Amino acid sequence: MDIGNETGRAADNVVAMLEAKIVSGELEDQTPLPAERELMEQFGASRTVIREAISQLSSRGLIETRPRFRPIVRKPDYATVLHACGNVVQHLLTDKTGIKNLYDSRVFIERALVREAALSARKDDIVSLREALEENRKAIPDSNEFYRTDVAFHGVLYRIPRNPIFPAMHEGYTSWLAPQWDRMLRSPERNEVNYLAHKSILDAILERDPVAAEEALNNHLKAAWEFVRVTFDWGDE
């Protein structure tokens, strides 16, 4: 196919060079990029290609751009990458089907996660889960706080495999699905139900019962979906 050795587009070269400077640390993380007019001198290119390169780096998540500000260097990490993917993924969430697919995949993953937790959670994992659940319980009266601790509880599950990809996936799920969830009614009563669901999940994990844990989580997430479904008056799935 393509060898990619030829000069091709000039912007690509600039991208590659800046990319190298970012990953090597020559351009420090969290620091602003040099001014465009300085970069064009540095690379011997016109401002056109410099801006093109900046645009590409931005869409790759290597720098963070705000409308009238200097781009900020961001050394790539899993969260950044996932966030950059968000712009792309969003096109698939315009209809109910897309959202359902994403949610179903989350259920699938999380079922496997709680299985894993029940089978091989370590002591400190258990401690984290207990703490997260307790925070969740205390937040029942405050729906906003409850939402936060809800997400945090599930987040603990994603950290158990100790693979940074999973927390990133969790970040993706919550941020991509958030637009729908935010529009959902919340109430202390509803929070109570969800808290109890979390508790039953943790109980099953504590009993080292993967089947019960998986089932508890499945019931929890299915019920949550059912709730948004009727909230938005979507037809049956």
DSSP assignment of 133-171 equals: HHHHHHTTT-HHHHHHHHHHHHHHHHHTT--THHHHHHH
* Residues 83-122 as x/- pattern, contact with its own copies by CB under 8 A: -xx-xxx-xx-x------xx-xx--xx-xx--xx------
Compute the distance between CA of residue 133 and CA of residue 138 in angstroms, rounded to an integer. 9
Sign of the alpha-carbon torsion through 135, 138, 143, 145: negative
- Shortest Cβ distance from residue 94 to its own copies (Å)? 7
10 binds its own copies (CB under 8 A): no
Applying CB under 7 A, which of residues 20, 23, 29, 37 lies at the interface with DNA?
A: 37
Which tokens sit at 226?
């059912």
In this structure, the strands spanning 63-64 and 72-73 are antiparallel
Q: Using CB under 7 A, which of the segments 9-17, 165-173, 206-214, 222-230 binds DNA? A: 9-17
The binder of 180, among its own copies, DNA, none, by C-beta within 5 to 8 A per type, is none
Residue located via tokens 């508790």: 199
The binder of 87, among its own copies, DNA, none, by C-beta within 5 to 8 A per type, is its own copies
- Interface residues with DNA (CB under 7 A)? 9-11, 33, 35-38, 44-49, 51-52, 54, 65, 67-70
